[in-house]
Each structure stands twice: as C-alpha cells, then as structure tokens.
Structure 1
Amino acid sequence: MTTVLLWAAGILVAAVGVAVSIALHEVGHLLPAKRFGVKVVQYMVGFGPTLFSRRRGETEYGVKAIPLGGYVRMIGMFPPGPDGRLRASSTGRWALMAEEARRASFVEVGPGEEHRTFYRLPVWQRIVIMFGGPFVNLLLALVLTAVAASAIGQPGFVPTLSAVSQCVLPATSTATTCSAGDPAAPGAAAGLRPGDEVVEFDGAPVRDWASLSAAIRERGGQEVDLVVLRDGQRLPITVTPVLTERAVTSATGQATGETEEVGFLGVSPSIAVVRTPLAEVPGVVGQQVEGVVGIVVRLPQRLYDVAQAAFGSAPRDPDGPIGVVGIGRLAGELNARPAIIPGDELAERTSRLVSLLAGLNVALFVFNLIPLLPFDGGHIAGALWEVVKKAVFRLRRRPDPGPVDVAKAMPLAYGVSILLVGMSVLLLYADIVRPVTLQ
C-alpha cells in the first residue's frame, strides 16, 4: 500500500510540475507581449475544450481539457499578403493555407488597433516575445537543478574509502575472495584503510571521487604521493597503481564487452550526500541541453528505435525520447524507489523528482527552439531571416521589403503538427507496452 501511495504521489508531482512548467512558459510570452503593447486575446494552458476561463481586461485566461501544451494568442501574428490585403494571390492549396492563417490572426483586430499587432513590432521585440517562453523553461531548469543538486544534494560517490581490496583480481575473474597466488593490491600494500579520506593525489587536491578515479586510472605503473585524512590527521602515503585489465563501459554505464589496461589501486568509494557548487549548476544544465539537442538531431532514428521496441523485441533505449505517460511512470518509480542513504528518504525522493522536472524543462527549452513552425523557434527564425533580408536589400539600395511573410510556412507547420501528433501517439503506446524503467 505504501508503494502504491508513493507511486501516486510521484505521478501527481510530475503532472503538477508539467502543468506549472507549461503555464510559466506561456507567461514568458505573455509578459513581454503586453509590455510591448501587443493585444493578447487569450492565455490558455492546454488544448481542446475549455474547462475554466475568466476574462481580465482584454485577455481571456483559462485552462483546457488536454494538458499537452498551451498558447498565447496575439493579434496580427502574420503580416498581410504582398498586396496588403488578407487574400491569397492565387487559388493554390498552399496559398489558401497561408491566407487562412492571415485571416485568423486579424479576426480580432479592432478599429484603431492595427498598431498593436505582433508583426508591426521591431524584430528584436518579436524575438524577445517568442524567446520568452523557452527562456523561462531554461531559468526553471537552472533553479530546479540548483535546488536538487546544490540545496538538497544527491547521493554520490565521495573519496572516503569504504573498502580496500587485499589483492588484484583479473577483469574476467568471478572470484569474490583472494587466494594465495593473487598479487597484493597496491592500496592495501601501501597501508590504506577503510575510512581514510583521500584529500590529495599527486600534489593536487581531490574534490570528488570521479576525478580521483580518473587520476588513478591514468597513473598505472607510476609512483604517486597522496595524502589521506585519518582520525583527523593528515597522513602522507606513497603508492604505485598497477596496470590491470578492466571492463570498458559506455556513457550509460553498460559493459561493452571490451577491456582496457588502466591503473588500479584497489579501493572503493563511500556513498554520501553530494552537493554541487552553485557555480557548476550552469555547466550541469548545459550538459543536459547538449544531450537533448543530440536527441533532437537524431530524432527520426530515435523514433524508429522506439517503434522497434514498441512493436518488436528490441529493448527500449533509456536515453531515448519518452512521452507524458513515460514521465509519469518514471516519477512514480523514482518516488517509490528505496533511498540509497537510509535515514533521509524524503530529501532523496524530493531531489529525484525535482531533478526530473529540471530535465523536463530542459527538453521544453530545446524543443521549442526548433526553427520550424509551430514551434517558437519558427517565429524566431522568421524574424532573423527578416534581419538578413533587409540587410541585403539595403546593400543593394533597394526599398525595404517589409516583414517576412511567415504565413507562407503554414503548410510546413501543418505537416510538422501532424508529425508531432504521430510522435505523441507512438510514445504513448510505447510508454504503455514497453516503458522506460530505472535500472
């Protein structure tokens, strides 16, 4: 019963976190739009039928039934056609789509409100409005990461030794104890003991286990001076890591089946709450952004892999894309998972869920900057193209070409929207039949 409640609590936190992230994303568009004088007709969280709404001034604020996004509707999102009128210059299918988009963006332009249309703003103001949403998600990711990693902390390895091996076992060995013929491990031979905290290695201060482990692996066969803290006293020790074969692992920690020769000391770290310095939080978020960008760049292949897992027997990639159902499942699993460090379960569970929401906001930041409509990045790309186009016209001493007609890209926007719906359906099915689970 407790496990079920923890699952439910995790899913609820994820659902509320997603809704708040979307709502604040739209606030990132709303505030600068109002600041620059654009008439904002609607601020909505969700799509589909309206569950609740209230009008304040000229803007209707509300919540809709399908919580898969949101929008801020501004008047005059698209400029009139080349002739200045809201009609198509031809009867072609694509031209009619662009005409419909223009008409919809001007429906609520009242008399004397032409100056309050979005397309009449200077380019930099349009970019600020459209970048405002993703920027809020980036700020949320930074704040949530700071809370999870710096304020609360997360379980991690620290350079306090939990165990010291007495011998060196080959990488292919399945033995768990030493035999008479096994060579002595260099750490034990040098006098290292469980509980020692390694504070210096080869004259450099040790900040974390990852850097110490990397240094040991690089110094195989070389004599090294290190300093440990034992019973409050600094104790210098000289040790020579031996070269030995160890299994090669991937970035996700999976064994590749290969081995390599690395330095080996024969010591193991302890697990403790590790707090990331605030100055390192932007770097952590930057790495997450880089990872999501990699997923976006290879999205067709990633979705193919998801389909292979959903409809075949291929395993689901834990680092691949997941849908809203998958996010909820992961949140429930994270919350129900036993604490790594006993005695502080609430803090550890909170840190996990906050980290998950931080990662979600990183994904929202990256995906919304894709330079295609209907993403925010599509409008930003149109504004930047307008800058380039006007600069070229000035160099050629030609008249100002006016705003870029972003409405011409609406056929592509409809195509992208259809692909997004297909992707959402695929991820929904995959999250149900072949969900991503924690290892």
Structure 2
Amino acid sequence: MTGILMNVLGIVIFFVGLLVSIALHELGHLSFAKLFRIRVPQYMVGFGPTVWSRHRGETEYGIKAIPLGGYIRMIGMFPPGPDGRIEARSTSPWRGMIEDARSAAYEELKPGDETRLFYTRTPWKRFVVMFAGPFMNLVIAFVLFLGVFMVIGQNKQTTTVANVVPCVLAQSVERDCRASDPPSPAKAAGLQKDDRIVAYQGQPISDWAALSDRIRASRGEVSITVERAGQQKVLTTTVKTNKVLKKDADGNPVKDEYVEAGYLGFGPGAAVTPLTFGESIDQMGAMFQSGVDSLIALPSKVPDLWNATFNGEKRKADSPMGVVGAARVGGEIMGLGLPTNTTIGFMLTLVAGFNLSLFLFNMLPLLPLDGGHMVGALWESLRRNLAKVFRRPDPGPFDVARLMPVAYVVAGLFICFTVLVLIADVVNPVRIS
C-alpha cells in the first residue's frame, strides 16, 4: 500500500512541477507584454473548461481543467489585411485560415487599444515578448540542474573496486569464465572488492576516468596502491591487452565498438558525489547538446514508437515520452524506496529535463510555437533595415497570419505525435526499474 501511495505522490509532485513550469512560462510572456504596454485580456494555465479565475485590472487570471499547457491572449497579434479590414472573408480555405486568425486577434478590441496592439510594437520588443516564455523554462532548468549537481550530486564512478573479473574475456564475449581462460590481472594481483585505489604506478589518483585511461594506455608490469581496512598496500601485476569498449570524446563507452587496450579486469564502484560549479556547467552543456540531438532525431524515432505502441515491440529506453510517461516515471522513482536525497534529485532532474525540452521545442522556428513568432519579428526587422539601406519605402509589419496554413499543418502533426506518445505511455511505458 505504501508503494502505491508513493507512486501517486510522485505523479502528483510531477504535475505540480509541470503546472508551475507552465505558469512561469506564461508569466514570462505576460511580464514583458505588460512592460511594453500590450493589452493582455487573459492569462491561463491549462486548457479546456475554466476551473478558477479572477480579474486583476484588465487581465483575467485563471486555471483550466487540463494541465497540458497554457497561454496568454494579446490584442492584435496580427496586422490588418491590405485593405485595412479586420473581418474580410474568402472562399479559399487557406485564405480562410489567415482571415480567421486575423479576426481572432481583434476579438476584444476596445477604444484606445489602437496604440496597444502586439503587431504595432517594434520587432525587437515582439521578439522579447515571445522569447521570454521559453527563457523562463531555460532559467528553471538551469537553477534545478545546478542545485541538484552541486547540492545533491551525481552518481559517479569511483576508484573503489566493486567487483573483480575472474578471467580475461573480450568485452564483446557474453559467457562465463572457463578453467582454460587466463586469470585477470586484477585477480592475479590480489585486488579485492571494496579496495580503494589511491595510486597507480606510484602516482596518486582519485578520478575513475583518469585511472581508466591510464590502465588502457599501460603495458607490462604495473603497481597499484590500494587502501584496504584503513591501511595502504601496494600490489603488482602485468597488464593484459584485451578487446574493450571504445570511449567517445566525453569518455563514455560507445556501444558495440571495441578497441585493443590495456586491461586489468575489475569494475569501478559508484557514489553520489556533489559536482563543482565548473563540472556542473560542463554537465549542463552536455545535457543541452543531448537535448538538441534528441530533438533533431525525433522524426526518426516515430517508427520505433509506432511499433512499440501497436506491434508489441520493446519500448526503447531513449523513446520519446509525453507528460503521462514522465509522470509515470516520477511515480516509479518515488516508489523505489531510494534514499531521500537521491529521490529528490531524481524528481528535480525530471522537472528540469521537462523544462529544458520545453525551451528547445518552443525555439523551433515554426508557428504556432513561440519560435515562429520570433522568426517573424526577425524577418520584419531585416527587411525594414534593408529598405532603409537601399532607400526603399518601408515595407511595414510582416503579416505572420499568412503563415497560419503552415501553423495548422504543424499543429496537426504535433497533435498526432502527442496522441501517439500518449497511447505508448499508457500501453507500453518506458520503465526505469
């Protein structure tokens, strides 16, 4: 019963973090819209029926029933058409999309709003208003990641021996040791579980990555200084050459790629260790790059996601997850019975990762995402400045509404992908345990 309650608590905590993240995202938009005196009739967290709302000044603040997003409504998101009319109509479905979007942007136009329309602001102000939302998600991710890395720490491999491999086997070989297999150098040296290696070849060492690199580069006889039961002991052995996993530029093993290197035959221990500020920044940089790579690779993951959803194939660990899947992972984390600080670290990392994803996704230069409006503002600024340079007439504001047909296509694809991920998260979820 306790496990179920902890699972539910994890899901609730994640959704609270989700709502706070969405609220702050929209607050970023709202703050700069008001700073630049754009009228904002509505600030809402969620979609669907309104659960609660209050009017403060000219803005209605509220919470809606479905906590899967949010929005602020600004007056005059799109400029009038060429004829100056707001509610022009056309029989063309594409023109209809454009004109419906333009009309909706003026639904609550009041006397005096002529100077408070979004499109009348300079391009840089419009860019800032739209960028402020994703930027809030980036700030949340940065603060949470920094706090987790520097206060709680990260699970890192250490120079403590977790296990000793009995024999020399290429890492590509999946079988147990046989009597005919030569003993591993670590076993021959008398290395034992829980020994802490403090020096290699007489030189002090405390970092597993550095120790691993030195072992790989070694040949012949070596000395290993270990701390065992509070006392230091020097062991000697002969390093063997073996086929081991290749390392990438970051020092991580590359799956199914092998190289010939020095080999001792023991596994490193692991411990949750706080990172320095510099290490934390490096780690966040790696996570940011990983997020960008994942976003670029997203279309290529759709076939695997489809097969995992409808064809019974195994769901891959790096499969895209939606809000339901992330909440489910949060519930699993809470139900694992891990130490409190580790559980808190996992939950904060989950919320931070969600915010990083929100930032990257919203920066895509496509409507209806924030990035689409930002690109529209940049394009307007460019063409107006070019007109000045070449002494041509001011082309006026760029009509983002003309891109609404593209926006509908993008929104349709996004909805289809969201539904696919939702079904996958229910019928074949990603599991961490």
| Structure-1-length-normalised TM-score | 0.88
Structure 1 window deviating more from structure 2 (28-37 vs 102-111): it is 102-111
Among 353, 361, 364, which residue is 2:347 paired with?
353
Conserved? CA contact 2:308–2:315, under 8 Å: yes
**Which residue number corresponds to residue 71 of structure 2?**
71
Distance 1:75 1:222 in 2: 75
Amino acid at match of 2:273: V
Distance 2:334 2:305 in 1: 25
Cα deviations by residue, 1:66-122 (Å, 9 ceiling, x for unpaired) = 111000111111112234332448653222222221221122232222221111212
What's the CA shift for 1:304? 2.4
Conserved? CA contact 2:301–2:319, under 8 Å: yes
Residues 55-66 of structure 1 aligned to structure 2 (within 5 Å): 55-66=55-66
Cα deviations by residue, 1:213-262 (Å, 9 ceiling, x for unpaired) = 24433x14266677656677887877653211236799998964x65423
Amino acid at match of 1:213: S
SS of aligned partner of 1:45? strand
Given the superposition, is the C-alpha separation of residues 419 and 121 from structure 1 closer, same or farther in structure 2, using an over 3 Å criterion? same
Conserved? CA contact 1:145–1:354, under 8 Å: yes
Residues 117-128 of structure 1 aligned to structure 2 (within 5 Å): 117-128=117-128
| Structure-2-length-normalised TM-score | 0.89
Amino acid at match of 1:429: I
Given the superposition, is the C-alpha separation of residues 337 and 262 from structure 1 closer, same or farther in structure 2, using an over 3 Å criterion? farther
Residues 286-435 of structure 1 aligned to structure 2 (within 5 Å): 286-339=285-338, 345-435=339-429
Given the superposition, is the C-alpha separation of residues 223 and 140 from structure 1 closer, same or farther in structure 2, using an over 3 Å criterion? farther
Conserved? CA contact 2:245–2:253, under 8 Å: no
Identity of aligned residues (%): 45
Conserved? CA contact 1:142–1:281, under 8 Å: no
- Does 2:32 match 1:32? yes
Cα deviations by residue, 1:159-207 (Å, 9 ceiling, x for unpaired) = 223444565345436335x85x654543455675554444565798755
**Which residue number corresponds to residue 95 of structure 1?**
95
Conserved? CA contact 2:224–2:235, under 8 Å: yes
Conserved? CA contact 1:289–1:363, under 8 Å: no
Given the superposition, is the C-alpha separation of residues 247 and 86 from structure 1 closer, same or farther in structure 2, using an over 3 Å criterion? same
Distance 1:33 1:224 in 2: 66
Structure 1 window deviating more from structure 2 (59-68 vs 96-105): it is 96-105
Given the superposition, is the C-alpha separation of residues 249 and 425 from structure 1 closer, same or farther in structure 2, using an over 3 Å criterion? farther
Given the superposition, is the C-alpha separation of residues 211 and 48 from structure 1 closer, same or farther in structure 2, using an over 3 Å criterion? farther
Cα deviations by residue, 1:292-335 (Å, 9 ceiling, x for unpaired) = 32233233322222111111133222212112221121111122
What's the CA shift for 1:268? 2.5
What's the CA shift for 1:357? 0.9
Distance 1:361 1:9 in 2: 20
Given the superposition, is the C-alpha separation of residues 78 and 170 from structure 1 closer, same or farther in structure 2, using an over 3 Å criterion? closer
Amino acid at match of 1:33: A
Distance 1:67 1:254 in 2: 39
Q: Which runs of 5+ in 1 are unaligned?
A: 340-344
Given the superposition, is the C-alpha separation of residues 289 and 224 from structure 1 closer, same or farther in structure 2, using an over 3 Å criterion? same
**Which residue number corresponds to residue 266 of structure 2?**
267
Given the superposition, is the C-alpha separation of residues 272 and 81 from structure 1 closer, same or farther in structure 2, using an over 3 Å criterion? same
What's the CA shift for 1:337? 1.9
What's the CA shift for 1:351? 1.0
Given the superposition, is the C-alpha separation of residues 94 and 182 from structure 1 closer, same or farther in structure 2, using an over 3 Å criterion? closer
- Does 2:176 match 1:175? yes
Q: How many residues align?
A: 430
Conserved? CA contact 1:241–1:263, under 8 Å: yes
SS of aligned partner of 1:95? helix
Distance 1:205 1:40 in 2: 63
Amino acid at match of 1:21: S
SS of aligned partner of 1:414? helix
Distance 2:241 2:185 in 1: 11
Given the superposition, is the C-alpha separation of residues 206 and 385 from structure 1 closer, same or farther in structure 2, using an over 3 Å criterion? farther
Structure 1 window deviating more from structure 2 (233-242 vs 313-322): it is 233-242
SS of aligned partner of 2:41? strand
**Which residue number corresponds to residue 138 of structure 2?**
138
Given the superposition, is the C-alpha separation of residues 196 and 110 from structure 1 closer, same or farther in structure 2, using an over 3 Å criterion? same
Cα deviations by residue, 1:139-162 (Å, 9 ceiling, x for unpaired) = 111111122222112433212234
Given the superposition, is the C-alpha separation of residues 163 and 300 from structure 1 closer, same or farther in structure 2, using an over 3 Å criterion? closer
Conserved? CA contact 1:199–1:206, under 8 Å: yes
Amino acid at match of 1:174: R
Amino acid at match of 1:22: I
Distance 1:134 1:222 in 2: 55
